[in-house]
Structure 1
Amino acid sequence: MLQLIQHAFQFGKNIAVVDRSIPYSFQDLLDKSHQFASYLIQEYGDLTEARVAFIVQPGFDYLVVQWGIWRAGGIAVPLCVTYPFPSLQYVIEDTQAKILVVSPEFDGILAPYRGNPGLRFISTEDFHQQEPKDLPSIKKDRGAMILYTSGTTSLPKGVLSTHANIEAQISTLVDAWQWKSSDYTLSILPLHHVHGIINVNSCALWAGATIEFLPHFDAKRVFEIFLRGNVNVFMAVPTIYFKLIAYYDSLPKSEQFELTEKMKTFRLMVSGSAALPVSVMERWHQISGHYLLERYGMTEIGMAISNPYSGERRAGHIGQPLKGVGVRLCDEQDNKIPFEQPGEIQIKGPNVFKEYWGKPEATAKAFTKDGWFKTGDIAQVENGYFKILGRDSIDIIKSGGYKISALEIEEVLRTHPSIKDCGVVGIPDEEWGEKVVAALVTNSPIDTEVLNQWIREKMPAYKTPRKYLIVEDLPRNAMGKVTKNELKKLF
C-alpha cells in the first residue's frame, strides 16, 4: 500500500480536512477514496497506469479523486480550474487520458468530451453508491502523477513522477520542516502545481495534520481564518504575501495589533514558487514576527534546497540542500565547479522525476551523461547559503560580454519608494547582444531620468536598465510568477 495512504489509517478519527466549514476525518477520506477507486477500476481490477485527468475545485472532493486514482493504480493528471478549454484540451490529449473526472461546475467547459468513444467521462456525483472492491497492490516505481511545466520557453511538458519520487519529496519536507499531527494549515494554492499538492496538502496529510481549504484567495478571509486561532503553518507565493501586506496596511491599528499577536504564535511560514523580494520578507517580519522560510524547488524535483527550520533564514537566499538530495553547480559543459562560482544547479536523488511524458528527446536533454538533472537555474553559494542569480534562458542577461542577473537588478529597484513591483529582462540589441530593460509598477509618479541616476549610485553602470516602461501590472502565471517572455513582448 502507498505510504501516504498507509499513514492515514493511524489517524482515523482525526480531522484531515475542513472544507466550507465541514470537517472530514482521515477515515472519511480513506472510505470515500476507496469507494471512488472501486468505481474507477470497474471489472478491470487495476488501472495499470492509465492517465486520469480531473478538474475539481480544491477541497475534500479533490483529495478523494486524487487518492482514488492512486489507489486504483492510475496516473493522476490534475487540470487547472482557471484554464480555458484549449489549455485543458492540450493536457488531456497530450497525456492520452483514458478517463476524465469532472465536478459539476466544470461540466460546461468540458462538455465537448462527453460521448467521446476513447474517453470515459465521469462526474464526481456518479460514484457515491459504489460498493467497495479489493484494490490493487501498487509498486512504488509506477507512474503516479503528471504535472505540466509552465511552458515559459516552449510548449508545456508533462512531468511524470513515480510514487517513489512523491514519497521522497514528501518525507524529506516532513522531516526538514518538522510537520506534526497537531499542525493545521490553510490550502490556498492552485492544485495543479507541486507547491500546493506536495508541500501543503500531502505533507500535512502524511503527518496527520489538518488542512482547511480556501478555494479562492481573499486577503480579508485569510486574516479572518488566522484570527480563529487554528492555523499554525502557512505557505504561499510572494504575490500573496504582497497582497496580504497591502490589506494589513489598510486596517485600523487595533486590528493590525490583533493580527500581529495571532501570527506570532504560528509555527512556520513559508514562501516559494517565485523569488521572494527582500523588501517583502522584511515587511512581513515586521507584520507577523516571522522571517519567511524561503526554499527552492521545481515541478521535476519537488523541493531540493531550503532555508533551515531552526537557524538563520537569510533574505535573498534559498538555503542549503535538503537531506538526501544531491546538489552541485556546473559550467556550460556540465563540469562541476566550486560553489563560490556562479553555475547551473544540478540535482540528483530519489525526488527527481522519471521522464517528460512522451518526450524522450527532451528527457535525455534534461539530464547529464552521469544522470544529474539540469535545472537551468544559475546560483552561487555565499557564506554557506545558495543564492539564485536567475534562470539561464530568462533571468541571466548576456550584455556587452557580461552575464547579468535580472533578479539582482529587480531587488535594487524594489527598494525605491515609488516602485511597487518590477520585472527586468534582456531584449535583443545589435550593439550589446542583449539590452537590459525594466517594466515598473509604480505607486507614485516617477521620473525615469532621475531613477537612472539613483540606480547608478547603487550598482555598476553596465547592470543598469537602458529603458523603462511603466505598466499597470506584470504578466503572471497561475502561481504568481512573472512570465518574462510575455514581459519581453511589451518592449
Structure 2
Amino acid sequence: MLQLFEKAKQTPHKTAIVAGGNHYSYQTLLEKSEQISSFLLGEGQDLSQERVAFMVAPGFDYVAVQWGIWRAGGIAVPLCISYPFPSLQYVIEDTQSKFLIVGPEYESILQPYRNHSETKFIALGEMQNRKEKPLPEIGKNRGAMILYTSGTTSLPKGVLTTHANLESQISTLVKAWAWSSEDYILELLPLHHVHGIINVLCCALWSGATVEFLNPFDAKQVFEIFEGGKLNVFMAVPTIYYKLISAFESYSPERQAELKKCMESFRLMISGSAALPVSVMEKWKEISGHYLLERYGMTEIGMAVSNPYDGERRAGHIGQPLSGVELCLLDEEGKLVNPGEPGEIHIKGPSVFKEYWGKPEATQKSFTSDGWFKTGDIAVLDDGYYRILGRDSIDIIKSGGYKISALEIEEVLRKHPSIKDCGVIGIPNEEWGELVVAALVTSEKIDLEQLSTWMRERMPAYKTPRRYLVLEELPRNAMGKVTKNELKKLF
C-alpha cells in the first residue's frame, strides 16, 4: 500500500476525511498515522507482519489506525463494531493478534483483554505524542490485511491479502470507475468488509478524493448530505437503496423534486454485496435518474466483474471481467461450459488473496491444481454479460450485503437447551436479498421473542434468524441429511 501513502503526499492540504463535523487533510492523516506507527513499533524497527486487531468507530481515527498499522509493517485486522464479544474473541484469537487497539466506545465490551497475556490492549487515547522514528520498508508481497468471511464451514475464515493484492484491487477499480481527486463520496458501509474498505475508502483516498463518514446509517441524514451538493459518488448495498426509496416516498412532491435534481448531478451510483432486485433498480432510476452500476466481488478476490462505467448497464447482470482479471465457468467435472450454460465462476489474477489464515487445507481446496480460485458462485454468460444464478451451496445466505453461513447459525441454535434440532436457510426477500429463517424441533414450548434475544447475545444481529417455524421433525433424505429445498417450501 506504499502507493497509497505516496499519493497522499501529493495533495497534503486537500481534505481527505470529513467526520463528526470536522475536516482532516491528507497531511493530518499522514502525521497521525505516523504517530500510531511509532507507538506500535516501540523500541522495534518493523512489526514484521504481526497482526494488529482494531475496533475503532468509522471516521478519521479508523483510517489513521489502519494506515499506521500498514506503515509499521503490521497486518491490519479490522473488527466489526456491532459484533458481540464471542465473535470478536474468535477473530482476535484466530489471528493471534499481538495488539488490540480500542476506541473509547468499545473499551467495555473488550474489557476482558485489558490484562491479556498474549494480546496487548491499547486504548486509542494512549497513542499520543510518540516520538517519530524511521518507518520500515514494506515489501509488496507481505501480508497487509485479514478480513473474515463465512465460507461454507461453520466457523469464519480469515482471508489474508498482501499489499500487492490490495494495490491491484484498488488500482483496477480506480481505472474502471474513473475515480479522480474531484470525487466526494459518503462512507456508510461496514469497515470490516471489502466493500467499505476497498471500494469506497481506499479507492477514494488513492485518488486524492474526499470521504465523508456517516455512522450509523440514517436515510434522512443521507438525503440531507445529498442536498449539501458536495457528493458526486455513492455506493451502497441493496438494503440501503430499499430504505432510501421508502424514505423518499414519504417526502412531499416538492422535496422529492429537489432531491431528484440533486441526485441527477451525481457522477456515479453503485450497488453491490448482494443481488439487486430489478424492481429496486428501476425504482431508483425513477427517483434519482441513475441506472445503478452492479458489480461482483468477494473478500477473497476484491472486485472481479463489473457493468461498464460508460456503456450499457444490464439489470440482473454483473457485467464483464475487470482489467487484469481472468474468469472462466467450469462444470462439476472441471470442464469449460458452453456459452449460455451455467458453471462455477473461477478467477485468476493479481487481486486474488494469498491464503486463508492458518487453514492450509481450506486454502488448497479453494484453488484448482493450476491456480484458479473457485468462488462457489454459479453464473452464466448471457449475450456478453455474466449473470449470477446463485451459490453452489445452499448453506450460504446472502442477506443485506453479507454472506452468512447457515451452518454457523445452526451451531449456535443447537446450544439452546430447548432446541433438539434446526435447519437455517435463506428465503427470497426484496429488501434483504435473502431473509435468514430457521426451522426448529424443540423439546418443549419455546418463546420465540426470548429466543431472538438469546441469539443476539451470541451472534451479530444480521446473522440472527428473522423468522422461526417450529416443526415435529425436519425433512431429510435417505442419508439423514436435512433437505433444505424442502424446508424452503415450508416457509
Please tell me the TM-score bracket, short chain as reference.
0.7 to 0.9
| Counterpart Cα distance in 1 of 2:108 and 2:176 | 43
Q: Which runs of 5+ in 2 are unaligned?
A: 400-405, 407-422, 432-451, 470-483
* 1:300 counterpart residue number: 300
**Alpha-carbon shift at residue 189 of structure 1 (Å):** 0.2
The aligned amino acid for 2:34 is H
* 2:341 counterpart residue number: 341
* 1:458 counterpart residue number: none
| Counterpart Cα distance in 1 of 2:66 and 2:291 | 33
- Identity value in percent: 63
* 1:7 counterpart residue number: 7
**Alpha-carbon shift at residue 484 of structure 1 (Å):** 11
* 1:113 counterpart residue number: 113
Is the contact between residue 180 and residue 207 of structure 2 (CA under 8 Å) also seen in structure 1? yes
Is the contact between residue 84 and residue 460 of structure 2 (CA under 8 Å) also seen in structure 1? no
Question: 4+ residue runs of structure 1 moved beyond 4 angstroms?
Answer: 436-442, 475-491
Question: Secondary structure of 1:12's match?
Answer: coil
Question: Secondary structure of 2:125's match?
Answer: coil
* 1:18 counterpart residue number: 18
CA separation of 1:478 and 1:274: change in aligned 2, threshold 3 A: farther
**Alpha-carbon shift at residue 127 of structure 1 (Å):** 1.4
CA separation of 1:135 and 1:483: change in aligned 2, threshold 3 A: farther
Question: Secondary structure of 1:125's match?
Answer: helix
* 2:394 counterpart residue number: 394
Is the contact between residue 237 and residue 479 of structure 1 (CA under 8 Å) also seen in structure 2? no
CA deviation profile, 1:42-84 (whole Å, cap 9, x unmatched): 1111000000000000000000000000000000000000000
| Counterpart Cα distance in 2 of 1:171 and 1:483 | 38
| Counterpart Cα distance in 2 of 1:222 and 1:200 | 16
| Counterpart Cα distance in 2 of 1:64 and 1:437 | 37
Is the contact between residue 57 and residue 103 of structure 1 (CA under 8 Å) also seen in structure 2? yes
The aligned amino acid for 2:135 is L
CA separation of 1:358 and 1:485: change in aligned 2, threshold 3 A: farther
CA deviation profile, 1:220-265 (whole Å, cap 9, x unmatched): 0000000000000000000000000000001110000000000000
* 1:413 counterpart residue number: none
CA separation of 1:371 and 1:437: change in aligned 2, threshold 3 A: closer
Is the contact between residue 53 and residue 100 of structure 1 (CA under 8 Å) also seen in structure 2? yes
| Counterpart Cα distance in 1 of 2:153 and 2:293 | 29
The aligned amino acid for 1:200 is V
The aligned amino acid for 1:112 is P
| Counterpart Cα distance in 2 of 1:230 and 1:392 | 42
CA deviation profile, 1:94-133 (whole Å, cap 9, x unmatched): 0000000001110000010011122111111011111111
* 1:280 counterpart residue number: 280
| Counterpart Cα distance in 1 of 2:212 and 2:374 | 35
| Counterpart Cα distance in 2 of 1:482 and 1:250 | 29
The aligned amino acid for 1:311 is G
* 1:130 counterpart residue number: 130
| Counterpart Cα distance in 2 of 1:155 and 1:270 | 30
Is the contact between residue 329 and residue 339 of structure 1 (CA under 8 Å) also seen in structure 2? no
**Alpha-carbon shift at residue 441 of structure 1 (Å):** 7.8
| Counterpart Cα distance in 2 of 1:273 and 1:200 | 13
| Counterpart Cα distance in 1 of 2:463 and 2:293 | 18
Q: Which runs of 5+ in 1 are unaligned?
A: 397-405, 411-424, 426-433, 443-472
Is the contact between residue 190 and residue 478 of structure 1 (CA under 8 Å) also seen in structure 2? no
| Counterpart Cα distance in 2 of 1:338 and 1:77 | 41
CA deviation profile, 1:150-209 (whole Å, cap 9, x unmatched): 356421000000000000000000000000000000000000000000000000000000
| Counterpart Cα distance in 1 of 2:325 and 2:363 | 20
* 1:35 counterpart residue number: 35
Is the contact between residue 152 and residue 393 of structure 2 (CA under 8 Å) also seen in structure 1? no
| Counterpart Cα distance in 1 of 2:26 and 2:261 | 31
The aligned amino acid for 2:231 is V
Tell whether 2:73 aligns with 1:73.
Answer: yes
CA separation of 1:325 and 1:17: change in aligned 2, threshold 3 A: same
Q: Which moved more, 1:124-133 or 1:287-296?
A: 124-133
CA separation of 1:437 and 1:227: change in aligned 2, threshold 3 A: closer
Question: Secondary structure of 1:216's match?
Answer: coil
> Quick one: higher RCO (CA 8 Å, sep 6+), 1 or 2?
2
| Counterpart Cα distance in 1 of 2:466 and 2:153 | 10
* 2:189 counterpart residue number: 189
* 2:434 counterpart residue number: none
* 1:208 counterpart residue number: 208
Question: Secondary structure of 2:291's match?
Answer: coil
* 2:355 counterpart residue number: 355
Matches within 5 A, 1:365-444: 365-394=365-394
TM-score by length of structure 2 reads: 0.82
CA separation of 1:81 and 1:163: change in aligned 2, threshold 3 A: same
The aligned amino acid for 1:117 is S
* 1:150 counterpart residue number: 150
The aligned amino acid for 1:275 is A
| Counterpart Cα distance in 2 of 1:273 and 1:441 | 14
Is the contact between residue 241 and residue 284 of structure 1 (CA under 8 Å) also seen in structure 2? yes
Is the contact between residue 277 and residue 430 of structure 2 (CA under 8 Å) also seen in structure 1? no
Is the contact between residue 296 and residue 305 of structure 2 (CA under 8 Å) also seen in structure 1? yes
